[in-house]
A and B are shown apart, each in its own frame.
Chain A
Amino acid sequence: MRIVVLVKPVPDTASGGERLRPADWRLDRAATPAVVNANDEYALEAGLKLTEAHGGEVTLVTMAGSAAPETLRKALAMGASSGTLITDDALGGSDTVSTARVLADELRGLEFDLLLAGADTSDGGAGVVPAGVATLLGLPYVSYAAKIEPDPAAGRVRVHRISPTGYDVLEAPMPALVVATQALGEPRYPSLKGIMAARSKTIQTRTLADVAGGATDGLGGAAASNEVVAAEAPPPRAATRVIREPADEAARQVVAFLAERRII
């Protein structure tokens, strides 16, 4: 199977150093180390498991800053075979529509059976790019996958989609875009051999002009349909009351506290 996984480098939330640039309220990506977006790792893990079961390989596609190869290596170390990075100064500040269009333009040139994506990213958090890509490419869009069962011979994929009451079982012809969830299983740790191997895997770098040809109108930061006009830090948290009592007594006090405020 040929599987493409959409991945994005995001600031490492564990570093605690995330901040916005006061000049344009955009994320200061130089301020923190980048990691592969956690939800994308679930998609990648699912892709790797599928190729282990059905053969084939996983490739990565990302639109990110020029420092992204360092982060992509981590995804390659997990087992993806190669990656494509679309990077261009003009793409900084792109909105989700523009991002989806650029990714779709790149994906038109690739052959794949499944396109996997994470549910959303920990930096942008919009969660609409996969749906946009599927729409632009005319692919079946199956979200919230808890289980992905492709039938390569029949050219179809069956997906358990999480629903409020359990899950729906959907079937779609391939190629299809499937949005992964954490229910697919924990991402693996890269093995040391994987890390060494990743250093010699190919990461192809493409510019906006490479991807979109002459049709760059409406793409990139300059064409963004929205603008951040202000940003404020959340107010500092009010004083915290810590209850250090045995479980029974602690539960009683928590219940009393919530009841007093009519929360329960």
Chain B
Amino acid sequence: MATATPTYRLTEDQAALRDAVRILADEQIAPRAAEIDRTAEFPWDVKELLASHDVLALPFPEAHGGLGGDLLTVCVAIEQISRVCATSGLILAVQELASLPLLLAGTEEQQARWLPDLAAGRTLVAFALTEAEAGSDVAAARTRARRDAATGDWLIDGSKRFISQGSVADLLTVFAVTAEDDDTPRRQRLSCFIVEKDAPGFAVERIEHKMGIRGSPTAELSFRGVRVPDANRIGEVGQGFELAMRTFERSRPGIAAQAVGIAQGALEVAAGYARDRKQFGRPIAEFQMIGAMLADMDAQTEAARQLLYKACAEIEAGAPDAGRWSAMCKLVAGDTAMRVTTDAVQVLGGYGYVDEFPVERMMRDAKITQLYEGTQQIQRLVIARALTGSR
């Protein structure tokens, strides 16, 4: 009988980092969460806190000033922060997401140029892929990058929508069409570039008013003849789509982690409330209908967490079906977060519906995890295709 695989529990290092991030989140971030939601302002103080405690360094290699944390460690950190504030958890998730093309396909020179500042949290980066007409259908992007034959530079024109932290980022990982004719296969139309926010022709057009993750600015960005040197091109020309898909394989677990964190946070509030709240002369936790709800919430959250952790281990190990694991954990965690936060509001009754308690915020925050980095429908598509071999 083989012994249990070493990946089945967190390592001592991972557990120590989790506990440290949890303390930071409970003591320093939780007290800010309601205000971040109410003001809908990006929490620069939380970003500084995460930077100064090396939390933002987690996804980056040690050679470039990072902590070299594996995917599971990064996800455990996102989970702990999102437990108290989904907006704050997203700061780490987006920093990882938008750095992934650079980490996966950047040259040593490109990594040395940008990663140290990203690892230290001196710069933030956003992932600019989605457009108004190209959401789930990524390859339908219209933002173009044309080669300037004289200089070899690229000129980017177009606009991007729903870009998380697009207005606060110093760098933007932009995907643009480089195919010169319509016959180019859909998967070979895009290329990836790093655009610096000060580049002439780049502008933030507006910030969306959102239901949840309100402190995380979601921006519409415009590019009007933005000149980018070829040295800022990440990966080969025409490989942008594949790079985006490989990025999602590693980034969707980050969103699953955010979702698990939100669910756990809501569960803890609901359980605490059920112990304290008395009706008919006793704590409502003693009523079986409430107890059953809490038990289901706990079991579902733990199930989503275990699928996430397993997915992280499989993806890190280079499993051939990494895309399937990634889609499954995001699908299950997002749906779990929505269900558990909705039930948490139910446990709190009228108090759950008002902002005196954080569960209504958590319920609003949970919804986004079913939408971004691929809707739940896209996750199912990915899983079904992996299962049946269809395209």
Bound Cα distance A189, B23 (Å): 9
For residue B52, CB closer than 8 A to chain A, the reply is yes
For residue B53, CB closer than 8 A to chain A, the reply is yes
For residue B54, CB closer than 8 A to chain A, the reply is yes
Pick from B16, B23, B53: contact of A191, CB below 8 A. B53
For residue B290, CB closer than 8 A to chain A, the reply is no
Known: A189-B23, A189-B24. A195 touches B57 (CB 8 A): no
For residue A193, CB closer than 8 A to chain B, the reply is yes
- Residues A192 and B23 in contact, CB atoms below 8 Å apart: no
For residue B198, CB closer than 8 A to chain A, the reply is no
Bound Cα distance A77, B13 (Å): 12
Tell which of B17, B20, B57 has the most Cβ of chain A within 10 Å.
B20
- Residues A191 and B52 in contact, CB atoms below 8 Å apart: yes
- Residues B24 and A196 in contact, CB atoms below 8 Å apart: no
Chain A residues 194 to 209 lying within 8 A of chain B, measured CB to CB, are 194-196, 199
CB distance from B54 to the nearest CB of A (A): 4
Q: Tell me the nearest residue of chain A to B77, going by C-beta.
A: A192
One digit per residue, 1 when the CB lies within 8 angstroms of any chain B CB and 0 when it does not, for chain A 220-236 equals 00000000000000000
CB distance from B27 to the nearest CB of A (A): 8
B interface residue count range (under 10 / 10 to 19 / 20 to 34 / 35 or more): 10 to 19
- Residues A199 and B53 in contact, CB atoms below 8 Å apart: no
- Residues B57 and A190 in contact, CB atoms below 8 Å apart: no
Pick from B12, B27, B28, B53: contact of A192, CB below 8 A. B53
- Residues B67 and A196 in contact, CB atoms below 8 Å apart: yes
- Residues B54 and A191 in contact, CB atoms below 8 Å apart: yes
For residue B55, CB closer than 8 A to chain A, the reply is yes
Bound Cα distance A189, B20 (Å): 8
For residue B255, CB closer than 8 A to chain A, the reply is no
Bound Cα distance A54, B211 (Å): 51
Report A-chain residues with C-beta under 8 Å of the C-beta of B67: 192-193, 196
CB distance from B366 to the nearest CB of A (A): 27
Known: A191-B53, A191-B54. A196 touches B23 (CB 8 A): no
CB distance from A196 to the nearest CB of B (A): 7
Bound Cα distance A189, B55 (Å): 12
- Residues B13 and A199 in contact, CB atoms below 8 Å apart: yes
Bound Cα distance A73, B17 (Å): 13
- Residues A195 and B52 in contact, CB atoms below 8 Å apart: no
Report B-chain residues with C-beta under 8 Å of the C-beta of A199: 12-13, 16
Pick from A189, A193, A194, A196: contact of B13, CB below 8 A. A196
Report B-chain residues with C-beta under 8 Å of the C-beta of A193: 54, 57, 67
Report A-chain residues with C-beta under 8 Å of the C-beta of B20: 77, 189-190, 192, 195
- Residues B52 and A192 in contact, CB atoms below 8 Å apart: no
Report A-chain residues with C-beta under 8 Å of the C-beta of B13: 196, 199
For residue B58, CB closer than 8 A to chain A, the reply is yes
Chain A residues 51 to 96 lying within 8 A of chain B, measured CB to CB, are 73, 77
Report A-chain residues with C-beta under 8 Å of the C-beta of B24: 189
Total cross-chain contacts (CB, 8 A): 35
Report A-chain residues with C-beta under 8 Å of the C-beta of B21: 192
Chain B residues 43 to 66 lying within 8 A of chain A, measured CB to CB, are 52-55, 57-58
Q: Tell me the nearest residue of chain A to B16, going by C-beta.
A: A195
CB distance from A166 to the nearest CB of B (A): 31
CB distance from A147 to the nearest CB of B (A): 25
Q: Tell me the nearest residue of chain A to B12, going by C-beta.
A: A199
CB distance from B63 to the nearest CB of A (A): 14
Q: Tell me the nearest residue of chain B to A192, going by C-beta.
A: B54
One digit per residue, 1 when the CB lies within 8 angstroms of any chain B CB and 0 when it does not, for chain A 122-137 equals 0000000000000000
CB distance from B19 to the nearest CB of A (A): 9
Bound Cα distance A199, B67 (Å): 14
Chain A residues 134 to 189 lying within 8 A of chain B, measured CB to CB, are 189
CB distance from B51 to the nearest CB of A (A): 10
Q: Tell me the nearest residue of chain B to A190, going by C-beta.
A: B20
Report B-chain residues with C-beta under 8 Å of the C-beta of A196: 13, 17, 67
Report B-chain residues with C-beta under 8 Å of the C-beta of A77: 20
CB distance from B294 to the nearest CB of A (A): 21
Report B-chain residues with C-beta under 8 Å of the C-beta of A191: 52-54
Bound Cα distance A17, B21 (Å): 24
- Residues A195 and B17 in contact, CB atoms below 8 Å apart: yes
Report A-chain residues with C-beta under 8 Å of the C-beta of B58: 192
Tell which of A191, A192, A194, A199 has the most Cβ of chain B within 10 Å.
A192
Report B-chain residues with C-beta under 8 Å of the C-beta of A192: 17, 20-21, 53-55, 57-58, 67
Report A-chain residues with C-beta under 8 Å of the C-beta of B55: 192
CB distance from A182 to the nearest CB of B (A): 16
CB distance from A74 to the nearest CB of B (A): 9
Report B-chain residues with C-beta under 8 Å of the C-beta of A195: 16-17, 20
Report B-chain residues with C-beta under 8 Å of the C-beta of A189: 20, 23-24, 27-28, 53
Bound Cα distance A190, B23 (Å): 10
One digit per residue, 1 when the CB lies within 8 angstroms of any chain A CB and 0 when it does not, for chain B 3-30 equals 0000000001100110011011001100
Report A-chain residues with C-beta under 8 Å of the C-beta of B28: 189
Q: Tell me the nearest residue of chain A to B65, going by C-beta.
A: A193
Bound Cα distance A191, B20 (Å): 8
Bound Cα distance A192, B50 (Å): 10
CB distance from B314 to the nearest CB of A (A): 25
CB distance from A107 to the nearest CB of B (A): 30
15 inter-chain pairs at a CB distance below 8 angstroms, sorted by A residue, are A73-B16, A189-B20, A189-B28, A190-B20, A190-B53, A191-B53, A192-B55, A192-B57, A192-B67, A193-B54, A193-B57, A194-B54, A195-B16, A196-B67, A199-B16
Query: Which 8 residue pairs spanning A and B have beta carbons closest together?
Result: A192-B54, A193-B54, A191-B53, A191-B54, A195-B16, A195-B20, A192-B17, A189-B24
Q: A192-B20, A195-B16 are in contact. List 19 more A-B contacts (CB 8 A).
A: A77-B20, A189-B23, A189-B24, A189-B27, A190-B20, A190-B53, A191-B54, A192-B54, A192-B55, A192-B57, A192-B67, A193-B54, A193-B57, A193-B67, A194-B54, A195-B20, A196-B67, A199-B12, A199-B13
